[in-house]
Amino acid sequence: RADNALQQAKIAGRARTFVDVHSGAQNREMVDALPAGEFVVVYQPIVDLPTGAVIGAEALLRWTHPERGSIPPVEFIPLAEESGFILDLGRWVLQVACQEARDWDFTENPRISVNVSGRQLHDPNFVPDVRRILADTGLPPTRLVLEVTESMLEADAPVALAALETLRAEGVRIAIDDFGTGYSSLSRLDRLPVDILKIDRAFVTTLTPDTGVAPVITAIVALANALGMSTVAEGIEEPFQAAALIAHGCGAGQGWLYGRPGPAAQLAELAAVPPAAVAAECPQLAPAR
Ligand code: C2E
Ligand code: MG
Ligand code: MG
Ligand code: MG
C-alpha cells in the first residue's frame, strides 16, 4: 500500500507544474541537483547572417530531473533568483561554458554568450569570479559575451553598471538580451557599457513573407549602428525571416533555422545555411551580392 501511495504522489506531482510546488522544498531539490549532475549546459549556434557561418554560441541551462524530466529555465531560474542559489548556479554555468568554449575551433575567435541574472551583477564576488574563471580556463576575455536585460542597467543599479564597466574595460563584451521588450531610455543607451543589442524574438516573429519589413527591427538596427553596437536577432525559424533580417542590415542571429540548443559538439558539424537558400525564399529582400 505504501508503494501505491508513493506512486499516486508521484503522478500528482507530475501533473502539477513545477512552480506550483512548495518553493522551499523545490529549492532544496535544486541545490542538490547541482552536485548530482542534473544540470547541463547546452549551446545554441549564433551565425553571421550574411554568410550563415557559425561565429559563436549561447549557453543555455537545462535541468534534467530524474522524475519530471527536462525542466525549462523559465520554471527554475526565477526560483533560483529568489533563493539566491542563482549565484552558485550562475558561476557554475560560466565555468562550464568558458571551459568548453576555450577549445572551440570552428571559426577564428568563436564567442561564448552566457546569460547573467541581476542577482549575480549585484554580488561583490561577481567580477573576481569572472576574472578567475577566465584565468583558470584560459579563455581570452574578448571571446566572452555576458547577456543582461534592460532592467539590470537602470540608473538605480550603479553596482551592476560598475561591474559591467569593469569587465568590459578588460575586454569582455556585453549584450542586452531581449532588446525592445524593456524600457531602455534612449538618452542613457549611449552611455551604457554595451556592445550588442539582441533583437527579441517577438519582433522576428512579426516578419512574414508578405510584409518582409518590421519597423521596430529597422529602428533597432539603425540605433545600434548609430551607437557603434552590433545586432543579434533571436528566434529565427524561417528562411524568409533570415532574408528580411539580412536586408535590414542585422549582422548576426540565432534560431531553429540554424540550430537548436544542443551539445557543444554539434557546433562544428552544423552546415551553414547558405545565403542563397535564404534569399531564394524572399528574393525581393535579398541584398545585392
Ligand atoms: P534567452 O536568453 O532570451 O534565450 C533564448 C531562448 O529562446 C532560449 O530558451 C532558446 O532555446 C529559445 N530559442 C532559440 N531559438 C528559438 C527559435 O527559433 N524559436 C523559439 N521558439 N525559441 C527559440 P530557453 O533555453 O528555454 O531559455 C529561456 C530563458 O531562460 C533564456 O532566454 C534566459 O533568459 C534564461 N536562461 C537560460 N539559461 C540561463 C542561465 O544559464 N542563466 C540565467 N540567468 N538565465 C538563463
Ligand atoms: Mg540570452
Ligand atoms: Mg534572449
Ligand atoms: Mg528571449
What pLDDT score does 23 carry? 65
Angle subtended at Cα 172 by Cα 30 and Cα 169, rounded to the nearest 5 degrees: 130
The SS3 assignment for 115 reads strand
Percent of the chain with pLDDT over 70: 88
Q: How do residues 77-135 score in pLDDT, each as one tens digit? A: 999 999 999 999 999 999 999 999 999 999 999 999 999 999 999 999 999 999 999 99
Ligand 4 centroid distance, CA of 187 (Å): 24
Cβ of 117 closer than 6 Å to ligand 1, yes or no, is yes
CB 55 within 8 A of CB 46: yes
Q: From CA 245, how far away is CA 77, in angstroms rounded?
A: 30
Does residue 101 have its Cβ closer than 6 Å to ligand 1? no
Q: Can you read off the three cell numbers belonging to residue 91? A: 558561476
Burial 15-29 (b: 16+ CB within 10 A, else e): eeebeeeeeeebbeb
Give pLDDT, residue 21. Answer: 46
**Which ligand gives the minimal distance to the CA of 235?**
1
Q: Cell 552566457 belongs to which residue? A: 114
More confident call, 285 vs 64: 64
| pLDDT, tens only, 213-249 | 789 999 999 999 999 999 999 999 999 999 999 999 9
Lowest-pLDDT range, 6-15, 52-61, 160-169, 191-200? 6-15
Q: Return the pLDDT at 2.
A: 53
Average pLDDT for 157-162: 92
At residue 27, φ and ψ (nearest 5 deg) are -65, -40
Pocket test for ligand 1, best of 64, 234, 245 (most atoms within 8 A of CB): 234
User: What's the mean pLDDT when you consider all of the chain?
Assistant: 89
Q: How far apart are CA 38 and CA 31, in angstroms?
A: 10
ipTM: 0.98
Please give, one letter per residue, the 3-state secondary structure of 92-110: HHHHHHHHHHHCCCCCCCC
Q: How far is the CA of 226 from the centre of ligand 3 (A)?
A: 22
Instruction: Determine if ligand 1 sits within 6 Å of the CB of residue 81.
Output: no
pTM of the prediction?
A: 0.90
For residue range 264-288, what is the model confidence (pLDDT) as tens digits?
A: 999 988 866 777 777 776 666 544 4
Nine cell digits for residue 15 = 501533473
- In this prediction, residue 225 carries a pLDDT of 95
Q: Name the residue with the closest Cα to ligand 1, atom 43.
A: 115
